[in-house]
């Protein structure tokens, strides 16, 4: 296990707690660690909020003193608001409620009040906001930036400053996605041009392509995206990682060295692709947690999930990853806090 920099103290405490909670006997061999040659910044670890929150945004009480206190404890921090539902979120400055969501993957509104609350929250806790824009808004073959421009203009008017921008999510996975990889790369290029053309937005960070499939498919997708011009559009390359499907998660798997180590060859492959086709750009785990599909009930929210998390932080930093966005700050079994805003793990 590798531990880096200022995380060591905080996470070693958690490690001891999780060793106790598993109730087994382990020999922990903390080796003198070799310099990996990589350095991480103070915002190495950030969090995510899933775009699925729009439509019931008030559930996440961003003005709740408990939430504010916990959030301030994570500063300096970044939050990425994104995920599959980002491609169904439409900013609507005439509706006052986003409650028109019929189920998964149906369009929903992000209201002015939602956007105000999110921006006021990040400002008051001192976080950087990364927002994932809707790639499924189309005009002919191309991305239709009309709704994004409305968000950007409104934000300018209110003095909201985003740190990072994304377009679409896991388009290598999403079954209804009919967009070709060169088209996606072209959309990123036009998004970059749009951001550069608008006053008050630069400097900004464009992250992508948020590849999310397991194994080869995401490598093939990232390679094709970079080669089609995506590499020039982005500032940070993003890849998503989960160890397993939540439905197949077990406590045993969550502390099995084989599970922990399964990440290493994948990260090596991602780094190899990014070094070759998007040289000089940072590589991030742009959305990551223990198990996909919302996290595993009574596993992802328990101390035992700390093994995967701690090892991921150390392993990723030692292999050259520059940022990790933890799915999630709120929402799902893998969240950092539960539905009553008490921090996880609770046991
Ligand atoms: C906003 O919602 C109203 C009422 O549902 C609808 O008529 C309008 O087309 C929506 N605007 C956008 C940009 O989707
Ligand atoms: C969502 O709204 C866009 C823009 O109005 C439309 O093109 C698209 O078909 C809608 N998607 C769904 C799933 O309803
Ligand atoms: C993709 O194509 C299918 C079938 O042609 C269509 O039903 C679906 O709405 C399309 N999806 C998107 C995101 O355009
Ligand atoms: C895809 O996976 C196979 C089997 O796991 C492996 O042999 C091959 O090298 C992989 N290809 C790429 C492009 O990663």
Domain ranges of the chain: 1-35, 43-330
**Bridge partner residues of 164 (DSSP):** 130, 205
pLDDT at 23: 57
The catalytic residue among 150, 170, 261, 272 is: 170
Query: Would the CB of 219 count as within 6 Å of ligand 4?
Result: yes
Query: Would the CB of 221 count as within 6 Å of ligand 4?
Result: no
Spell out the alpha helix ranges (H) of the chain.
7-22, 65-74, 112-125, 146-158, 181-197, 216-225, 231-233, 251-254, 257-261, 263-277, 306-319
Instruction: Give dist(CA 86, CA 229) in Å, integer.
Output: 23
Of the candidates 263, 326, 265, 329, the one whose C-alpha atom is nearest the C-alpha of residue 44 is: 326
The catalytic residue among 135, 166, 282, 287 is: 287
pLDDT at 12: 55
Please tell me what DSSP assigns to residue 301: T
pLDDT at 44: 98
Work out the end-to-end distance of the chain between its first and last CA atoms, rounded to an integer number of angstroms.
23
Which residue is closest in CA terms to ligand 3's atom 3? Answer: 176
pLDDT at 29: 65
The vertex-343 CA angle with 305 and 207, nearest 5°, equals 70
pLDDT at 5: 42
Instruction: Give dist(CA 214, CA 251) in Å, integer.
Output: 21
pLDDT at 145: 98
pLDDT at 347: 72
* Whether 289 contacts 334, CB under 8 Å: yes
Calculate the dihedral angle through the C-alpha atoms of 53, 311, 236, 191, rounding to the nearest 10 degrees: -20
Query: Would the CB of 265 count as within 6 Å of ligand 4?
Result: no
Of the candidates 336, 274, 270, the one whose C-alpha atom is nearest the C-alpha of residue 79 is: 336
Which ligand lies nearest to the CA atom of residue 141 in the structure? 3
Select from 213, 216, 239 the residue to mutate for testing ligand 4; criterion: most ligand atoms less than 8 Å from CB: 216
pLDDT at 96: 81
Q: With a cut of 70, list the residues of the chain below it in pLDDT.
A: 1-33, 98-104, 175
Specify the residue for token string 């990072």: 164
Tell how far CA 288 is from the center of its chain: 6
Q: So what CATH class is 43-330?
A: alpha beta
Does the active-site annotation cover 287? yes
Q: Parallel, antiparallel, or unpaired for β 77-82 and 205-211?
A: unpaired
Which ligand lies nearest to the CA atom of residue 183 in the structure? 3
* Whether 286 contacts 235, CB under 8 Å: no
Backbone conformation region of residue 294, classed left if phi is above 0, alpha if psi is from -120 to 50, else beta = left
Instruction: Give dist(CA 271, CA 320) in Å, integer.
Output: 8
Taking only the tens place, the pLDDT of each residue in 40-96 is: 999 999 999 999 999 999 999 999 999 999 999 999 999 999 999 999 999 999 988
Query: Would the CB of 106 count as within 6 Å of ligand 2?
Result: yes
pTM, whole model, 2 decimals? 0.90
């Amino acid at each position: 296990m590798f531990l880096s920099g200022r995380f060591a103290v905080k996470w070693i405490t958690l490690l001891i707690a999780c060793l106790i909670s598993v109730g087994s006997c382990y020999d922990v061999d903390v080796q003198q660690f070799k310099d990996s040659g990589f350095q991480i910044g103070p915002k190495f670890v950030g969090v995510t909020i899933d775009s699925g929150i729009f439509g019931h945004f008030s559930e996440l009480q961003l003005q709740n003193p408990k939430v504010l206190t916990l959030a301030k404890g994570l500063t300096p921090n970044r939050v990425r608001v994104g995920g599959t539902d980002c491609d169904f979120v439409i900013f609507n400055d005439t509706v006052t409620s986003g409650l028109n969501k019929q189920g998964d993957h149906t369009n929903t509104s992000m209201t002015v009040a939602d956007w105000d609350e999110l921006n006021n929250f990040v400002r008051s806790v001192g976080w950087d906001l990364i927002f994932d824009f809707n790639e499924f808004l189309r005009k002919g073959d191309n991305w239709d930036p009309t709704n994004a421009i409305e968000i950007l203009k409104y934000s300018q008017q209110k003095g909201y400053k985003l740190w990072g921008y994304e377009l679409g999510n896991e388009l290598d996975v999403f079954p209804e996605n009919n967009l070709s990889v060169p088209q996606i790369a072209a959309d990123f290029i036009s998004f970059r041009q749009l951001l550069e053309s608008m006053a008050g937005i630069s400097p900004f960070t464009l992250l992508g392509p948020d590849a999310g499939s397991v194994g080869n498919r995401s490598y093939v997708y990232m390679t094709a995206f970079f080669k089609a011009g995506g590499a020039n559009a982005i500032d940070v390359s993003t890849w998503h990682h989960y160890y397993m499907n939540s439905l197949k998660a077990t406590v045993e798997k969550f502390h099995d060295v084989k599970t922990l180590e399964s990440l290493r060859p994948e990260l090596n492959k991602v780094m190899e692709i990014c070094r070759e086709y998007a040289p000089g750009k940072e590589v991030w785990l742009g959305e990551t947690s223990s198990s996909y599909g919302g996290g595993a009930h009574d596993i992802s929210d328990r101390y035992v999930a700390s093994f995967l998390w701690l090892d991921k932080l150390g392993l990723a930093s030692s292999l050259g990853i520059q940022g990790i966005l933890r799915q999630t700050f709120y929402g799902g079994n893998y969240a950092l806090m539960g539905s009553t805003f008490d921090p996880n793990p609770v046991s």
